[in-house]
Chain A
Amino acid sequence: MTVTSVRKDPRALTMTITAEFDSPIGPVWQMWENPRLLEKWWGPPTYPATVVDHDLTPGGRVTYFMTGPEGDQPRGWWRVIAVEAPHRLEFEDGFADEAGNPDLEMPTMTTRVTLTEQIDGGTRMAIEATFPSVEAMERLAAMGMEEGIRLAVGQIDDLLRAAA
């Protein structure tokens, strides 16, 4: 397990997860900086990500979509707040509509990535994710619920087809 610690602060609505990698800092930074590498790990196997725009400069945008088992393509975006290669990246992460424009109705979360070289040559990566409010977290979870229902609906459609 590469994850070394997890801290959750329900009052501050923050989760910090720390991982250590047996790798120099350069390749670890590449995992964020290279969109072809980023898309290999950002989405789960059932919802692989495709990164469209990738501008890791302050104010820059990263846009992506994920492709679900039903062919559904939820879209998301980052707005880069701060970047200091290869040590620090901070961005706001939100949903986008079908045209790829930020969905301003949906809440966003802020993610802060800190990479630190270790004495043994490895790299520590800390991810701090902060939600703006409990309501925002609920809505983000509700989005997941929506996807879950979409999946369930797909399965029901298959069952109905099979039964016909």
Chain B
Amino acid sequence: MEDSAFSAGPSEGDRAKRDGPTQTRTRFGIAEQPGLIYNHMVVDSDQADRVFRALADATRRDIVRRAMRGEHSVSALAGQYPMSFAAVQKHVAVLERAHLVIKQRRGREQLVHGNIDAIRDAQHLLDEFEEVWRSRIDRFGEVLAEVNEGATT
């Protein structure tokens, strides 16, 4: 099962390392440009290579998906795949170098969570949500106009 996500947020140091606001595509379809996040994460071509390589592996893609949903220990992740703890640890290290996940040590555990960057800020999140509703209302208005036209003709 998922751990409770972000119960212990990243350290200030980790936050400082993060770069500017990242526009994300959401299930609501906020940002219409696919791959925008990816573009934002890509600060240079070396970094692009790292992201490409990190996401080219099915296990690593699965780890990223899990880590985006909540915090997991490396040992819990290792239990999910038919491979050794060391192999999973290597996968996590590749994702960490690509800045796709953040790994922190707590006691004896290594905890991994998705790097959701600057979207921590409540105002920024509300801004994104505003975009969701603006685009919904645009479509709402268009469909409504069609409905009303249909009723009068």
Contact = CB atoms under 8 A, between A and B. Distances in A.
A146 B140 contact: no
A83 interface: no
For chain A, which range describes its interface: under 10, 10 to 19, 20 to 34, or 35 or more residues? 35 or more
Interface stretch (B72-80, B83-91, B103-111, B129-137): B129-137
A74 interface: yes
A150 B68 CA distance: 11
A8 B123 contact: yes
Contacts of B129: 15, 129, 137
B139 to A, nearest CB: 4
B102 interface: no
B109 to A, nearest CB: 20
Contacts of A137: 122, 125-126, 129
A98 interface: no
B150 to A, nearest CB: 10
A58 B67 CA distance: 36
Sorting the interface of chain B by its residue count into under 10, 10 to 19, 20 to 34 or 35 or more gives: 35 or more
Contacts of B143: 31, 37, 40-41
Contacts of B136: 41-42
B34 A69 contact: yes
A145 interface: yes
B130 A152 contact: no
Nearest to A109: B129
B148 A152 contact: no
Contacts, number: 173
B137 A144 contact: no
A143 B1 contact: no
A6 B25 contact: no
Given A17-B133, A149-B55, A10 B126 contact: yes
A146 B65 contact: yes
Interface string B6-48: 1000000000000000001111111110111110000000000
B93 interface: no
B68 A142 contact: yes
B61 A141 contact: no
B151 A152 contact: no
A156 B34 CA distance: 12
B144 A143 contact: no
A15 B130 contact: yes
Interface string A5-33: 01010100101010101010001101100
9 contacts: A3-B137, A28-B144, A47-B28, A105-B69, A135-B5, A141-B24, A141-B128, A145-B119, A149-B68
Given A105-B69, A144-B27, A145-B37, 6 more contacts: A37-B147, A44-B135, A140-B26, A147-B25, A148-B34, A148-B35
Top 10 nearest A-B pairs (CB, nearest first) are A144-B26, A44-B29, A41-B139, A152-B38, A148-B37, A148-B25, A146-B68, A10-B122, A8-B126, A137-B125
